[in-house]
Amino acid sequence: MNAYIFPGQGAQFVGMGLDLFEEYPLAKELFNSANDILGFSITDIMFSGTTEELKQTNVTQPAIFLHSVILGKVCGDNFKPDMVAGHSLGEFSALVANGSLSFEDGLTLVAKRAEAMQKACEIQPSTMAAVLGLEDSIVEKICQEIDGVVVAANYNCPGQLVISGEIEAINTACEKMKEAGARRALVLPVGGAFHSPLMEPAREELASAIEMTQFKKPSCPIYQNVPTTSVNDSDEIKKNLISQLTAPVKWTQSVQNMIKDGATLFTEVGPGKVLQGLVRKIDSNPETTSISKP
C-alpha cells in the first residue's frame, strides 16, 4: 500500500514551484488563483523572493501547502494514495489530497492558521528546541519538572523530539536535557511555541473557521497527528485538526500505525525530503520515495 506524506514548516526554499508554474497550465492556473485568494503575490516570494521573506509564517505555510497540493494535482490520475498523513501544516495538504477539502478551502484555512499562529506568537515570546539522543519518556519527565510552559511538541522519530514553550523554560530544559545525556539540545530558529498550550488563542480562532468549512468524505484514510490512527469521518477530522495546534505532532506513532495497517511505500509530496528520512529512522522496512516533480 502506498502512503502519501506531506511536509510541514521548514521545508521551504526559494524557487519552489517555479518549474511547475512554467511547465503545467493547470499549475499556473492554481498559483494565480492562490494569489487572488491570499490577496498578495505569493508566487513572487516563492519563485524569486529572499529566504527571509519566505520564512515569515504567513508566507511559509501557504507556500509549502501550495507546492505539495499543486504537485499532486499535476500528477493527475497517477496520484493514487491508499492512505495519507501530513506533518503539522502538512495535514492540510493531505486533506486536499484525499478529497476532504477543496483546494480553495484548504488554502483559506492554511492562511487563517498562519495568521492566527503569528498573532499568538506576538502575545508571548516563545520558542522550540530539538532534543537528540534521549528517550521520549526522559524528555517528557524533564519538561514536567520545569517551572513555566514547556512541553513535548514533535515526536519526529526515535531519539528526536522537539520541545515547545516559553523562552526561559526552554533554555532551562535544554540545560537539563544535556545533563541527562542528550547528544544535543538546540533552540530552533522559529517564531513561537507551536503545538503547545501557548497556541490556545490561535486554536480558538482557527476552530471557528474550520467549523464553517465544508469537509467531504475522504477517498482514503488520513492518519492525523493527534490520534495517530486511521480517520475517515469528517467530523472527527475537523475535531483533530482543531486540537492539533495545541497538541503534539505524533509523527513516529502515525508512521508506525500506517506500517501496521499495510503501508509498504511512503511517497513524500512537496518540498524537501525530511519526512522520508524520518520514516527510515522509524522503520527501515518500507520503501521511501518522493515526488518533487511529476
> Half-sphere exposure (CA, 13 Å, Cβ side) for 228?
16
Residue-wise over 86-96: b if at least 16 C-beta within 10 A, else e? bbbbbbbbbbb
88 catalytically annotated: yes
Catalytic pick from 126, 195, 196, 290? Answer: 195
Sorted by sequence, the CB contacts under 8 Å of residue 230 that are 6+ apart come out as 83, 221, 222, 223, 257, 261
Q: How far apart are CA 64 and CA 70, in angstroms?
A: 10
Assigned C-alpha cell, 66? 501550495
Catalytic pick from 67, 68, 87, 88? Answer: 88
| 128 and 190 Cβ atoms separated by less than 8 Å | yes
Q: How far apart are CA 257 and CA 289, in angstroms?
A: 19
Instruction: Return the ∠ at Cα 7 (arms to 82 and 155), rounded to 5°.
Output: 95
195 catalytically annotated: yes
Q: What count of other Cβ atoms lies within 10 Å of the Cβ of residue 14?
A: 15
- Report the relative pairing of strands 265-269 and 126-132 from DSSP bridges: unpaired
Residue with cell 500506517: 258
Which residue numbers are catalytic? 88, 195
